[in-house]
Amino acid sequence: MERIDTDICIIGAGSGGLSVAVGAAQMGARVVLLEGHKMGGDCLNYGCVPSKALIAAGKQAHALGQGAQYGVADAAPVVDYAAAKDHVADVIATIAPADSQERFEGLGVQVIREFGRFISKTEVQAGDRIITARRFVVATGSGPFVPPIDGLDTVTVHTNETIFDLRTRPEHLLIIGGGNIGIEMAQAHVRLGSRVTVIEGQTALAKDDPEHSAIVLDRLRAEGVEIIEGAQAERVSATGGVTVHTGDREITGSHLLMAVGRKVNVEGLDLDKAGVAHDRRGVKVGADLKSVSNKRVYAVGDAAGGLQFTHLAGYHAGIVVRSAVLGLPAKARTDHIPWATYTDPELAQVGLTEAQARKKHGRNLTVVRSDYAENDRAIAERRTTGQIKVMVVRGRPVGASIVGHAAGELIGYWALAIANNLRMQAISNTVLPYPTYSEINKRAAGAYFGPKLFESATVKRVVRLVQRWLP
């Protein structure tokens, strides 16, 4: 056995692990990075990147049938599904060098292409190497969860790890799960010419503002996606294709995509040998992202047992670098972490939803709104479906929900405000170019101050006095 001594050993080369590796190595720490599968992890190879690439293909196909409103004749798209998948593969290949073994070795990271597992509180084994480190970072991410539904073993079950390799367009795609992954793939595939049915045991897009989720789901239904809510998949059978049985219904299609959630990758790490407390949600960590039972071990991203977003893993990496490399105190928070669902229209959230804010802040809460229909850029581009809703407490935003074009971009405004404890006045004071969608955010701030300025009897009395005494 070869023995390696290092400062930081990272298990997993996804977003979180790579970010820790590059930060630590560039600051002078000795870093060993273990990855037994693909560099870049789920996001690059099976998640964020390929899904957005396929969504872009679907958006282009859909746009061909929307020209008449601009004075351009509509055209029926001719979709080459295999070529769309070539586009997906090309996007992955274009981004892959940034996450490659060669790049990280060039930065001074020792990359070992083996899975790692703990053999003691201070050692990890990867293949025929034993790594001793001052600090370990578990950055193993998550994979698709496939529930134990009767009959699944009789059909081909696609997940996000296989759907992007499919070269033949599904005639009728059945999607079990109405979360963001299922809904994004539903719209992409219906726009590329598939018939699509989404089967959701409870409520589709349940984690987002229900008023805004309804706008997205209505759009999907208008485009031809069948969304069946409150229908638990109880059994699956092979019928020349695949049939999902939901108690009182049988839905038959040609292909099945499972999109019911994620399972954290902690099996095989032998965390017990390192004295690292964990459960099915991941490693049990404190706000400092250290294991509650072994302070040498950190966990980031999905492995830390909380929200499951690529950008959260990157944020966690910064916390770990500050703590493990610089020895400075650092704690993670989640109130400023945004997320987005990349449907058309997009759906985005940061901080508290309206329901959460009302429950937490009661009478101290003010909810302000601004509609896309009041934005001149949206009117010019005929993208007027949408709304922003901002939850404000004592002059500061505590949450924002956006549905509409580029919502994933616009939510960054409010993530910045919440992260830096800005007041609504900071938003109102900002001068923005006209006409832009970003003015929707400023209009929401105006909606907060408007009643205080224009409907206040006190303000009107003061103005009359000022006007009387002005020379």
User: Does residue 200 have a known ligand-binding role?
Assistant: yes
In the chain, the domains with their CATH numbers are 2-39+100-143+263-325 (3.50.50.60), 152-261 (3.50.50.60), 338-454 (3.30.390.30)
Q: With contact defined as beta carbons under 8 Å apart, do 411 and 348 qualify? A: yes
User: Does residue 354 have a known ligand-binding role?
Assistant: no
> What confidence score (pLDDT) does residue 248 get?
87
User: Does residue 234 have a known ligand-binding role?
Assistant: no
Mean pLDDT of 372-385: 98
- Quick: pLDDT tens for 272-298: 999 999 999 999 999 999 999 999 999
User: Does residue 106 have a known ligand-binding role?
Assistant: no
User: Does residue 180 have a known ligand-binding role?
Assistant: yes
User: Does residue 261 have a known ligand-binding role?
Assistant: yes
Mean pLDDT of 92-113: 98
- Is the four-CA dihedral 446, 449, 451, 457 of positive or negative sign? negative
Residue 80 scores a pLDDT above 90: yes
- Give start and end residues of each alpha helix (H) in 64-195: 81-95, 101-106, 180-191
- Quick: pLDDT tens for 192-243: 999 999 999 999 999 999 999 999 999 999 999 999 999 999 999 998 899 9
- Measured CA to CA in angstroms, residue 119 lies from 4, 62, 124, 371 at distances of 14, 53, 6, 57
User: Does residue 251 have a known ligand-binding role?
Assistant: no
Percent of the chain past pLDDT 70, that is, above it, reads 99
Mean pLDDT of 386-393: 98
Residues whose CB falls within 8 Å of the CB of residue 367, separated by 6 or more in sequence, listed in order: 354, 357, 389, 390, 391, 392
**Token pair 């997205």: residue:** 216
- Quick: pLDDT tens for 5-36: 999 999 999 999 999 999 999 999 999 999 99
Mean pLDDT of 61-69: 96
Mean pLDDT of 303-308: 94
Distance CA 347, CA 402 (A): 6
**Helix/strand/coil for 135:** strand
User: Does residue 182 have a known ligand-binding role?
Assistant: yes
Residue 452 scores a pLDDT above 70: no
Q: Which of 312, 305, 213 shows the shortest CA–CA distance to 263?
A: 305
Distance CA 176, CA 261 (A): 10
Residue 353 scores a pLDDT above 70: yes
Residue 143 scores a pLDDT above 80: yes
User: Does residue 178 have a known ligand-binding role?
Assistant: yes
Tokens of 51: 């899904």
Q: H/E element holding 20?
A: helix 15-26
> What confidence score (pLDDT) does residue 269 get?
98
Tell me the pLDDT band of 387, cut-offs 50, 70 and 90: very high
The reported pTM is 0.94
Residue 455 scores a pLDDT above 70: no
> What confidence score (pLDDT) does residue 466 get?
81
203-207, 242-246, 352-356, 465-469 — which is least confidently predicted? 465-469
Residues whose CB falls within 8 Å of the CB of residue 153, separated by 6 or more in sequence, listed in order: none
Which residue type sits at 353?
A: T
Q: With contact defined as beta carbons under 8 Å apart, do 269 and 11 qualify? A: yes
- Measured CA to CA in angstroms, residue 355 lies from 195, 291, 294, 416, 418 at distances of 34, 32, 38, 22, 18
Residue 462 scores a pLDDT above 80: no
User: Does residue 40 have a known ligand-binding role?
Assistant: no
